[in-house]
Amino acid sequence: MENEVQDILIGTVEDISFYNDNTGFCVAEVNTGDEGVTVVGTVGELAVGAEIECRGIWSFHPSFGRQFKAETVVQTLPADVGGILKYLSSGIVRGIGPATATKIVEKFGTQTFDVLENDPARLATIRGISSAKAREMCKNFKSQFSARETLMGLTNLGLSQNEAIKTYNLLKAEAMDFITANPYALIGAETGITFDKAEQIAENLQERPPFTYRAQAGICYILHHNLGNGHTCIPRDKIIEPAKELLICDSDAVEIAIDNAIESKAIIQRKVYDRDFLFLPEIYHAERGIADRIKIMVEFPPRQNEIHQSEIYAFEESSKIKFDEKQRTAIEYAVSKGLLILTGGPGTGKTTTVKGIIQLMKNRNLKVALAAPTGRAAQRMEELTGSEAKTIHRLLEVEYKEGENTQSFVHDLKNPLDYDAVIVDELSMVDVTLFSALLDALPLHCRLIMVGDQDQLPPVGAGNVLRDMIDSGALPVVTLDKVFRQAMKSKIVTNAHRVVKGEMPEFDNSAESDFFLLKENSKYNAQKKILDLVTARLPAGYGFDPMGDIQVLCPSRMGEVGTQNINAILQAKINPPSKEKQEIRYKGYTLREGDRVMQIKNNYDVPWFKIGETGTGVFNGDIGILTRIDKANDIINVRYDDKEAMYSVENVKELELAYAMTVHKSQGSEFNAVVMPVLAVPQKLAYRNLFYTALTRAKRLLVLVGNEQGIRQMVENDKKSRRFSALKYFIESDDNDDLLTF
């Protein structure tokens, strides 16, 4: 929590309920003299009998009650005989159990620790302890003491307790020497240490490490940073200037740093279309892995399962629908060939086609899985198809361990999924790492049907998977481009198709229309119109619920008509402060009971419950209502559709107001009514595919607030934000010298 005031707790460890060797996460029972307290946190291994001083906050766990969440723990060895006996009896020192501990303490009393550290010969005078055994006991005791000293030294250099434990688990007693020599070598998910943290550590050292270490780490940092901008790789020549600025050096020093990083395998350089590109190894292997698997799937399709036109006609008859030629082609490819990209805009029949694919596959007793990148997209897929759909993470069974920054999946190359076909919707939202993990988990015989709209925004994560695969020309692609008669009645649909072609939408402000432009040139007046639309005009005119039906979509977070400002205005009107409503403030905004909120990162540990069922996990993009804030007991409840999630108060950082959201955050979702400001759009966000994505989020009504100039600026700009990626090249390339080995 921001500016959280920490408490201090001092006591004696009575019992260790749980300890994770890998993460250092510990649950201990501590006697403070006045009461017994449960202390939890990533604080390293504690010993029964040790005296500890903890800094942290009090909390209330939904299942385990009141706890002290420790951020840091300093432990000292007990000084009295009783404490020493309890400490050694805990098994903290290998080779010493309760019986041996009793013998040692009875003989040496308060001198026990001094004997264990310095005098194995005296220890060997005890009956039953040989000289060799005594030396081993003393060695183990000093090793234990050394671990505490090392952890303390690491935290003194500026590492958090969590970072210190991860570093110690990797390097053991050599951790201090390692970090002193080169703190930049610690950067990575295994330690949680970033480039900025390594810079801080370097400043705390008596002697700064050589520039070459910092320079190589800086090159990797720039590549990591650009992953956040969607780039899987960067041209070598384009990294020179930002590296000179970051490292404060000349071009020659940067070139040397790049070569050193390549030689040490910290980065990978490959020629892509006759230009040198730099990759982080894990992203390079993800793109190469996708390309190699796609080539295998194209060359070795699943066992042929030819489909007869009569089967498609029978499905049309039973479903009372009529497929066009392209829809039939898509069904034939999907069922018989087993690999297909199905793309198309709104109203072109993608969902109906997918229903046909599902049914005809099931008619052949194929086991079919449906998946989408987000919870809302999966829910929408399930509602439209009538078949169960999961997030890709749920399908692969994500594993996310407490205290670690990396995720893994139960299903992978060694443990593939048990399905004959997987159908993935909203593929435009899937980044290279997630798609690579999905392909790894597919059994060799599995069919893969990929559905998406290539004109929508690219994924938030790195890569351009859908577009690159289509552009490669290596996979079967069916593009549905016929807008069906029923959809033609919707101006939302017809205008979305006009926008894709670079044409201005047609505005029809008649009462029967579902697409409106409320003209406004003033950003202040636009705010007022948006507020009036959401809270009065649309509820009164259409019966829409401001909390459940209407969504404001903004191109940007910032500015007068950005999400931050619009959220504050709508919250003040829809859910104003009240003595009956608890609220919590975080980083300049307020969350209040009754607010519409959105989860902004995946959290696989948050418990939820609904009638007759419990589970864990809430996901990026989930939208719900904040129903309870109980700071005293450290509980926040959010209702997502039919389930209630229970958070710790510290998880408020994963929630933000959702009366308004960015267009990027809306991907994979649909709303009955969308209101969108279209004036003062920042130049870097004034793109056609952003505007198109916003239009296609509306099911029944779309209201634009602004002017035609703002709309034209987006419609005419089809440049898209440039993303560097190599997937298309890897798929097209016949160069086998660089094929991945598994």
Q: What is the Cβ-side half-sphere exposure of residue 416, based on CA atoms within 13 angstroms? A: 14
How far apart CA 338 and CA 340 sit, in angstroms, is 7
How far apart CA 41 and CA 209 sit, in angstroms, is 32
Is residue 134 classed as helix, strand or coil in its secondary structure?
helix
Closest to 312 in 3D by CA, of 300, 302, 322, 304: 322
Residue 349 is labelled as binding a ligand = yes
Two tokens, residue 245: 């600025």
Residue 350 is labelled as binding a ligand = yes
Q: Are 517 and 509 in contact (CB under 8 A)?
A: yes
Two tokens, residue 8: 């201090």
How far apart CA 30 and CA 8 sit, in angstroms, is 13
Closest to 95 in 3D by CA, of 41, 135, 52: 135
Two tokens, residue 44: 């390293």
- How far lies 536's CA from each of 151, 499, 539, 541, 574, in Å? 59, 29, 6, 8, 10
Closest to 39 in 3D by CA, of 49, 48, 31, 29: 29
Residue 347 is labelled as binding a ligand = yes
Two tokens, residue 570: 């709508």
What residues have CB less than 8 Å from 460, skipping those under 6 apart? Answer: 429, 431, 664, 667
Cα–chain-centroid distance for residue 621? Answer: 11
How far apart CA 183 and CA 200 sit, in angstroms, is 9
The residue assigned the tokens 């705010």 is: 527
Residue 541 is labelled as binding a ligand = no
Q: Are 334 and 340 in contact (CB under 8 A)?
A: yes
What residues have CB less than 8 Å from 414, skipping those under 6 apart? Answer: none
Cβ contacts of 80-89, under 8 Å, gap ≥ 24? 80/110, 81/105, 81/109, 81/110, 83/12, 83/49, 83/51, 84/49, 84/110, 84/112, 84/113, 85/49, 86/48, 86/49, 87/47, 87/48, 87/49, 87/50, 88/49, 88/112, 89/48, 89/49
Q: Are 638 and 658 in contact (CB under 8 A)?
A: no
* Known binding positions: 347-351
* Known binding positions for ATP: 347-351
